[in-house]
Structure 1
Amino acid sequence: MIAFFTDWGNDSYYVGVCKGVMKSINRKAEIIDVLHDTKKFDPKVNAHILYRFSRDFPEGTIFLCVIDAGVGSNRKPIIMKTKERNFYFIAPDNGLLTLVAENYGVEKVVEISNEKYYFRKNYSTTFHGRDIFSPAAAYLSKGIPMEEFGEELDTLNLFRYKKAEIINDSIEGEMVFFDTFGNIQTNIPVELGDTIFKKDDTVEIHFEGKVVKAYYERIFNDVLPGELLIHPESSGYLEIAVNQGNAKEYIGVDSEGVEFILRKENS
């Protein structure tokens, strides 16, 4: 199975062409389009999204991940195999694999440099998704060993981020991405939140010199329409949301990566 993830959108032919390339190499390949409308050019935001959806795929899945603002530069096209779940991630080495590498462990990384497994010898400098990454996924799905694609690498580019942690009676974390409803996805695991807060607590959200209050709940309907809440998101992290509204607009946050503190009111 090949799980396909890009920032190309669905209003161009890029996704379809890459699927055609993969099918020309392996007609039996099962290709699942996970997401193509995501924040463009941003490996950090998409690293969090990649980790969350990857957990719902079966062992041995090949993830074809093309978030590649540096296409044609000296960043390396790579294949990474994980220690847990036997996942394969095909991606540019630009930090996109940070979260999956940390959470699953890295068994091996190779550079995709063997042109035998490229789509064409005179490959495009701007469309490695078609000419390098997609063929690698297809050949890998046919059982070609990782070692055939190029030399093993000793290092992997990883980015730094604010890891969720409890400090005194507060939780510090990061707003990692926004969904289509304007819900704010955080990197705070639900179990961490539940160690400090209980249902119906009023929680202060401290960020960028501002403080807003929300209710600590389980479902949207635990609060009235238009009210702010913090609740478990389906992938196991805390989400800041507005019942039938847009939390991003409600609290006035402009970009991902904002660090924040959760603190019980009057604590």
Structure 2
Amino acid sequence: MIAFFTDWGNDSYYVGICKAVMKTINKNVEIIDVLHDTKKFDPKVNAHILYRFSKDFPEGTIFLSVIDAGVGSNRKPIILKSKSRNFYFVAPDNGLLTLVAEEYGIDKLIEINNEKYYFRKSYSTTFHGRDIFSPIAAYLSKGIPIEEFGQEINSINLFRYKSPEIKDDSIEGEIIFFDTFGNIQTNIPAELGDTLFKKDDKINIHYANKKVQAYYERVFSDVLPGELLIHPESSGFLEIAVNQGSAKEMLELDNEGVEIILSKENY
């Protein structure tokens, strides 16, 4: 199975071409389009998304992940084979694999440079998704050993981020992305929230020299329409949301990477 993830959008032919390339190489391969409408050019935001959806895929999945603003530059095309779950990640080495490397561990890293497995010998400098990444994923799905695709390397590029932690009676973390409803996704595991807070607690959210208040709840309807809440979302992290509204708009946020502090309101 190949899980296909890009920032190309669904209104272009690029996704279809790459699927045709993969089917040309392995007509029986199953390809799942996970997401193609995501924040463009941003490996950090999409590293969090990749990590979250990877958890629900079966062992042995090949993740073809092309968020690649540096296409054609000296950034490496790579394959990461994980220690746990036997996952394969085919991607540019631009930080996109930071979180999956931390979560699943690295069994082997390969820099892709064996042109025998490229789709075209005269490959495009701007469409490595078609000419390099897609054929490599397809050949992997046919059982070609990872060592065939290039030389082993010792490290990859990793980005820095604010690790979630409890400090005194507060939790510190980071806003990592916004979903299509305007819900604010954080990197704070839900179990940290449940360590300090209980249902119906009033929570202060500190961010960018601002403070707002929300209720610590389980589902959207625990608060009235238009009210702000914090709750564990489906991937096991804390989400800041508005019942039938946009938390992103309410908090007037434009960018990810904003550090946040959650603390219980003192009555």
Whichever residue aligns with residue 134 of structure 2, its letter is S
Q: How does 1:106-255 map to 2 (within 5 A)?
A: 106-255=106-255
> Could you state the TM-score of these two structures normalised by the residue count of structure 1?
0.99
Structure 2: which 5+ runs fail to align? none
Task: Write out the 4+ residue segments of structure 1 that deviate beyond 6 Å after TM superposition.
Answer: none
Residue of structure 2 in register with 1:42 after alignment: 42
Distance across 1 between alignment mates of 2:59 and 2:8: 26
The count of residues paired between Structure 1 and Structure 2 equals 267
Distance across 1 between alignment mates of 2:118 and 2:62: 17
Distance across 1 between alignment mates of 2:103 and 2:138: 25
Question: Secondary structure of 2:29's match?
Answer: coil
Offset at residue 254 of structure 1 (A): 1.3
Percentage of matched positions with identical amino acids:
80
Offset at residue 220 of structure 1 (A): 0.2
Distance across 2 between alignment mates of 1:254 and 1:66: 24
Distance across 2 between alignment mates of 1:203 and 1:235: 21
Distance across 2 between alignment mates of 1:99 and 1:156: 12
Whichever residue aligns with residue 88 of structure 1, its letter is Y
Whichever residue aligns with residue 25 of structure 1, its letter is I
Residue of structure 2 in register with 1:92 after alignment: 92
Residue of structure 2 in register with 1:101 after alignment: 101
Whichever residue aligns with residue 212 of structure 1, its letter is V
Offset at residue 252 of structure 1 (A): 1.1
Distance across 2 between alignment mates of 1:174 and 1:228: 18
Structure 1: which 5+ runs fail to align? none
> Could you state the TM-score of these two structures normalised by the residue count of structure 2?
0.99
Deviation digits for residues 15-59 of structure 1 (CA, Å, limit 9, x no counterpart): 000000000000011000000000000000000000000000000
Offset at residue 253 of structure 1 (A): 1.3
Whichever residue aligns with residue 99 of structure 1, its letter is L
Deviation digits for residues 43-95 of structure 1 (CA, Å, limit 9, x no counterpart): 00000000000000000000000000000000000000000100000000000
